[in-house]
Amino acid sequence: MKHAELFQRSGAAAWGTCAFSDLPLSAPQRQRAQELCPDARGVFVAAYPYSAGDGAGNLSRYARGEDYHLVLLRRLGEVCQGLRELYPAHRFVPGADNSPLDERACARLAGVGLQGRNGLVIVEPYGSWVFLGTILTDLPLPSAPEPSPDCINCGACVRACPGGALDKLPFDEERCLSALTQKKGELSPEQEALLRAHPLIWGCDLCQQVCPYNRDALPSPLADLTGQGSVPYLSTLTEEDLEGLSNRSFRAKYGNRAFAWRGPGVLRRNLKLRRE
């Protein structure tokens, strides 16, 4: 079975490869990668669409289906199994936000989609509504002849960001609403004001909603990411949903959701700010 067939069967909308030596990694990141995969030589990177459409709710689209970490590791695990059959002497280590690799840098070097001004990767026909996953390997792999080009830089995402997080590059995480909804600890008065006016209690889709590349984006066909699988679609959380939950019971109830890793505290805070 060829590489393309393995990724197609896993549900990937696009995939590519890059040379490990081409990645801009710090010394600790490079060391960690070598611990995961000794003599790392290459990276497979794949994009998986997740949007189920623009429905009402107070959770970002990416957090409404099953936790994408679980989904991507499961799907990439199937790819790794096929790759091990093709190359039994080599190692293949899947990753989804849990490795030292920068998935967006991998995608750029692999030529997977356009690079958006907001830092997201754009893959037709799904726009920027995609998750990126990687497979680190000691199999030598090449980068694309040319890295992915940038988007048209129309500025729509910059203008749509209430906190001005995209005014300069790299983006300012302290002004990004997606980051602020997940931030623990004390918030500044300005940050609290941003969250009070924000329609979501987890994540932010504003820069994607105004992106021209997303205007005619198709919904994802992947059942586990769109609530058609064993984990039902969840677009809204209320204070009643979280009432009386300890950290343990919260994770028992929502542990298969992308918002569960932070615990119930930030969600309760964000809900409280919304009604103040």
Transcribe 167-196 into DSSP letters: SSSS--GGG-HHHHHH--S---HHHHHHHH
Nearest to 47, CA basis, from 103, 93, 117, 9? 103
DSSP single-letter state for residue 149: P
Partners of 59 in the beta sheet?
202
> In three state form, how does the secondary structure of 65-82 look?
CCCHHHHHHHHHHHHHHH
Please tell me the distance from the alpha carbon of residue 96 to that of residue 154, in angstroms, as a whole number: 30
CB under 8 Å, gap of 24 or more: what pairs does 152-156 form? 152/212, 153/117, 154/117, 154/212, 155/117, 156/207, 156/210, 156/211, 156/212
For residue 157, give the amino acid letter. C
Sheet holding 92-95, edge to edge: 14-19, 42-49, 130-137, 92-95
Nearest to 132, CA basis, from 226, 253, 273, 16? 16
For the chain, give the longest Cα–Cα distance. 60
Q: Which positions are annotated as active-site residues? A: 97
C-alpha distances in Å from residue 106, one per residue of 40, 51, 129: 14, 22, 17
